[in-house]
Structure 1
Amino acid sequence: MTNPYVLPAIGAVTLATLAIGAYGLRLARTTSDFLVASRVISPTWNAAAIGGEYLSAASFLGVAGLILRNGVDMLWYPVGFAAGYLALLLFVAAPLRRSGAFTLPDFCELRLGSRRLRKLATGFVVFIGFLYLVPQLQGAGLTLSTLTGAPEWVGSALVGGVVTANVAFGGMRAITFVQAFQYWLKLTALALPAILLLMHWRSVGHPGVVAPLEWLLPSEGGHRGLFSTYSLMLATFLGTMGLPHVLVRFYTNPDGAAARRTTLVVLGLVGTFYLFPTLYGVLGRIWTPELIEGRSDAVVLLLPGRALGDGPLGQLLGALVAAGAFAAFLSTASGLLTAVAGVLATDVLRRDSVRGFRIAAVLGGGVPLALALHVTGLNTSQVVGLAFAVAASSFCPLLILGTWWRGLTDLGAAAGILAGGGAAAGSVLVTVFGPPLTGAAGELIAEPAAWTVPLAFAVMVTVSLATSRRVPMDVGQIMFRLHAPDALRS
């Protein structure tokens, strides 16, 4: 039976997104508004916006599906996704904002004075952005198809079109308001049904969870070996620090102290959200066992109706979850496209203007949409996890060493990005397009961060030491700019 409330709920979220974006458009006039919201976003607003864009399809749908299928071993996903902000807070949030950069390639040139390194960083920003965008668009197609029976391309096209329009016309200033609203919508859409489902579970006599022993065992006893577990932890913990769409939000804070406060609030918001996907995965074992060997990502969407029946309450909660899922696709895709469009406008099209940003937004939205419509069968959480691995193996070492080590050189940074990031990107391509691999080779390719991150750090340090004459002459001034308190710098 088709839920009659789903389409109105999705339509309401889409219209609200467009309306808030239109309101933000009134405030977006300059190039700085479009790229970094003129650096006037408060920590509270920025934290909600970061939560909105960070909690993607992999968080809203994928984590619950992984727990439903594979058990407690998959809890490392939410732990790593949330804990990544601790590393961001400790190492790069404030220095990155103090740098005065607009984009990651901007930071590369400012810190190391190399146009070639800037171009290399541009390529990786676009690759990571597209790799992350495709599963968001496909997740939208899955959601609409699962709940309404519409072809999957309809949901992908809807999200792609709305996001591209919002970003092209409003830029970062408009998207900030949209993403902050969508965080609270996503939290409500996941938390309220989860609480009511727990109450229903108690009222029907606490039915037991039917699961094999390995579903309850972590690491070696479960579905994932120790190497894959540690590799996943490393990718999610350090990958957050290298995600372009997350980092660009810190450029919107007024100063470094505000960037730190933003990160602290984000830790609370993201940690609160991740309390709930686990419940859906566990309760799905009771009421949606057929999804264990099927489209497990759909457990969040189908569970309210299966547990509570086809009555008004089950249908309303199902519609609320569908609205939250669409909010996840819209907000994350908006952040990703904003980051990609900023880089395309300034470094590919070389048009540092509002018109250039809008052209870049259309290009940046069109390519992932075409890929989403033609590349099928992707596992949302797996692809997003690989995007984290690429970010952890490329920009994370660059940011840590560039922020804290005076001896980093442009050649060292470029070699490390190519070695670690290139190896991780190659693993992504083999995983997505190549034949299935088994054994040790399969583990190394499917979860590459455990070897690609150390490789990137080692190559950056070794090549920088070998090319120490290329250390920028003004490195002392740059380090002072990155680390001196804001009051002292001003």
Structure 2
Amino acid sequence: MPEYTIAAIILVFAVTMLVSLFGLRVARSTSDFYVASRRVSPRMNASALAGEYISAASFLGVAGLIVAEGTYGLWFPLGYTAGCLTMLLFMTGPLRRSGVYTVPDFVSLRFSSARLRVATVIIVVLTGWLYIVPQLHGAALALTTTTGLPGWAGPVAVILVVLATVLPGGMRSVTIAQAVQYWIKLSALLVPLIFILLQAGALGGAGLPGWDASVWDDDAGSSPADLYRIVSLLLALMLGTIGLPHILVRFYTNPDGDAARRTTFLLLGLLSGFYVLPVALGVIARAVLPDQGLGSPDTALLRLPAAIFEGVGGDLLTAVIAGGAFAAFLSTSSGLVVSVSGVLSQEFFGGSVRGFRIGAVLACALPLAIATATTHMPLAGTVAMVFTFAGSSLAPLLLLGIWWSGITAQGAVAGMVTGAAASLGSFALGWAFESVWSTEAVLLNYPALWCVPLAFAVAVLVSRFGTSTPPANTAKVLARLHLPEG
């Protein structure tokens, strides 16, 4: 019954707004709104990071991709987790020790270039907007599938709750809400999985109606195109994590660099524990729902309980999964809104609390318009595109800026613009000519394997042979990034 699902979604909305009220009580200063006054403990921050990192693509998209493409879908959770490991090794400590609020602030500290800062602002805001859209598409899909309500209602509801969370308390309110939302999402998949396994009676699938293990016999994956797609995907997810603004800003909330590293270490454990669940449910869904006309594979998790349990049991488990899905949409969207609004406020509204709130409204407006005017695309694939864009544009800038003293502002601009233009142009050509080309379309639709090296190469070559030189304070800034505080 859709009433159960609507009740579950409303409950998630209510819990989100109630727990954010605690953050509102202690949010007083500008620093509270931007980085929670840099006093978030590693445990709280890891839960909040896991909450905003587990997006629509992780909650619904991974299982949907396993249903649609089999073992290829297993690479997504591996890539997501590997991305956090990359960030732990190369980014967390230096970013926190920089002492700034946003990625453009870091760029100004490292390069002292107004032109590079403007370019970074554009890329960061565009990345945030592009990532919010699939969260809203997921909300529309989930609400329509489970309740029959019109598609626009899901995105509008998510945006209203996000604004109700972000506007009063900024990062302080969002941190507490996201930490709670991680455990909601974990429970929303763990509970149905437990009941499904109990229903099966045995891990082999006995007792599950429609079970067909032969669906795994026809998996592809040995062709050169498949191998290229997997390697390119992993590179996009690993380096794209470094460029996601809502993930980067979270490390500015830790008290120091050591706390940032411990946060990421704990995050790896939380993500590893979570990703077992959508993978297991995706494997079950592929065997139970191979020929039932799902429409969009992203609805597989939402349809799975009703295919196994009859009556109220299936309805209740569907409601649980739908509630967890909306927790995913809310947590990722709120993190993105905080990061984008922080950048907009710093650049255009003097960095004030009022400017932060104006930026939050602007951060929501365009994605909402796009989401309600466009059709749903596969969640995992869409998010992989955003990761590719971030990995091709922001990751080279940040990695070289932190670890190479020879990079110049001119080289950083050239590398970032080249990566952004190459990835977006590749996706556009891939969509336009996919029906004509086959192998070429794989190269265009999964361009990380050549876009990322291209961006790095351009940044290095322009820095080495261009007309500008590294900033005069390079040694001082790098010492600040890499030496322990105090």
TM class, shorter-chain normalised? over 0.9
Give the whole-Å Cα distance in 1 for the aligned partners of 2:154 and 2:124. 25
Are the equivalent residues in 1 in contact too, given 2:232–2:446 (CA < 8 A)? yes
Query: What is the aligned partner in structure 2 of residue 114 from structure 1?
Result: 113
Q: Give the deviation of 1:35 after TM superposition.
A: 0.9
Give the whole-Å Cα distance in 1 for the aligned partners of 2:239 and 2:173. 29
Aligned ranges 1:79-478 → 2 under 5 Å: 79-202=78-201, 204-205=206-207, 207-211=211-215, 213-215=217-219, 217-220=220-223, 225-290=226-291, 294-310=295-311, 312-347=312-347, 349-430=348-429, 436=435, 438-467=437-466, 469-478=468-477
Worse-superposed segment, 438-447 or 51-60 = 438-447
User: Per the alignment, do residues 431 and 191 of structure 1 end up closer, same or farther by CA in structure 2, a change over 3 Å counting?
Assistant: farther
Q: Give the deviation of 1:76 after TM superposition.
A: 0.8
Q: Give the deviation of 1:484 after TM superposition.
A: 0.4
Q: Which amino acid aligns with 1:343?
A: V
Q: Give the deviation of 1:274 after TM superposition.
A: 0.6
> Residues 401-431 of structure 1, C-alpha deviation per residue, up to 9 Å, x if partnerless?
1111100100000000011122112234455
Are the equivalent residues in 2 in contact too, given 1:219–1:229 (CA < 8 A)? no
Q: Say which SS state the counterpart of residue 214 (structure 1) adopts.
A: coil
Give the whole-Å Cα distance in 2 for the aligned partners of 1:458 and 1:366. 36
Query: What is the aligned partner in structure 1 of residue 59 from structure 2?
Result: 60
Tell me the percent identity.
Answer: 47
> RMSD between aligned alpha carbons?
1.7
Give the whole-Å Cα distance in 2 for the aligned partners of 1:274 and 1:159. 24
Q: Give the deviation of 1:350 after TM superposition.
A: 3.2
Q: Which amino acid aligns with 1:196?
A: F
Give the whole-Å Cα distance in 2 for the aligned partners of 1:263 and 1:427. 32
Q: Give the deviation of 1:22 after TM superposition.
A: 2.3
User: Per the alignment, do residues 474 and 376 of structure 1 end up closer, same or farther by CA in structure 2, a change over 3 Å counting?
Assistant: same
Q: Give the deviation of 1:317 after TM superposition.
A: 1.5
Are the equivalent residues in 1 in contact too, given 2:67–2:297 (CA < 8 A)? yes
Give the whole-Å Cα distance in 2 for the aligned partners of 1:351 and 1:22. 26
Give the whole-Å Cα distance in 2 for the aligned partners of 1:39 and 1:411. 32
Q: Which amino acid aligns with 1:29?
A: R
Q: Give the deviation of 1:219 after TM superposition.
A: 4.3
Give the whole-Å Cα distance in 1 for the aligned partners of 2:432 and 2:187. 37
User: Per the alignment, do residues 468 and 38 of structure 1 end up closer, same or farther by CA in structure 2, a change over 3 Å counting?
Assistant: farther
Give the whole-Å Cα distance in 2 for the aligned partners of 1:145 and 1:135. 15
Are the equivalent residues in 2 in contact too, given 1:69–1:293 (CA < 8 A)? no
> How many residue pairs are counted as aligned between the two chains?
481
Query: What is the aligned partner in structure 2 of residue 34 from structure 1?
Result: 33
Are the equivalent residues in 2 in contact too, given 1:48–1:183 (CA < 8 A)? yes
Q: Which amino acid aligns with 2:314?
A: G
Q: Which amino acid aligns with 1:301?
A: L
Are the equivalent residues in 2 in contact too, given 1:128–1:390 (CA < 8 A)? yes
User: Per the alignment, do residues 417 and 140 of structure 1 end up closer, same or farther by CA in structure 2, a change over 3 Å counting?
Assistant: same
Give the whole-Å Cα distance in 2 for the aligned partners of 1:377 and 1:410. 39
Q: Say which SS state the counterpart of residue 485 (structure 1) adopts.
A: coil
Are the equivalent residues in 2 in contact too, given 1:209–1:282 (CA < 8 A)? no
Structure 1: unaligned runs, 5 residues or longer: none
Give the whole-Å Cα distance in 1 for the aligned partners of 2:126 and 2:54. 20
Q: Normalised by the size of structure 1, how large is the TM-score?
A: 0.95
Give the whole-Å Cα distance in 1 for the aligned partners of 2:93 and 2:442. 36
Are the equivalent residues in 2 in contact too, given 1:69–1:292 (CA < 8 A)? no
Q: Which amino acid aligns with 1:472?
A: P
Give the whole-Å Cα distance in 2 for the aligned partners of 1:437 and 1:303. 36
Q: Give the deviation of 1:183 after TM superposition.
A: 0.2
User: Per the alignment, do residues 185 and 434 of structure 1 end up closer, same or farther by CA in structure 2, a change over 3 Å counting?
Assistant: farther
Q: Which amino acid aligns with 1:129?
A: G
User: Per the alignment, do residues 429 and 103 of structure 1 end up closer, same or farther by CA in structure 2, a change over 3 Å counting?
Assistant: farther
Are the equivalent residues in 2 in contact too, given 1:240–1:246 (CA < 8 A)? yes
Give the whole-Å Cα distance in 2 for the aligned partners of 1:73 and 1:400. 29
The runs of at least 4 consecutive aligned structure 1 residues that moved more than 6 Å come to: 432-435
Structure 2: unaligned runs, 5 residues or longer: none
Give the whole-Å Cα distance in 1 for the aligned partners of 2:410 and 2:169. 37
Give the whole-Å Cα distance in 2 for the aligned partners of 1:440 and 1:350. 47
Q: Which amino acid aligns with 2:473?
A: D
Are the equivalent residues in 2 in contact too, given 1:24–1:175 (CA < 8 A)? yes
Give the whole-Å Cα distance in 1 for the aligned partners of 2:99 and 2:293. 48
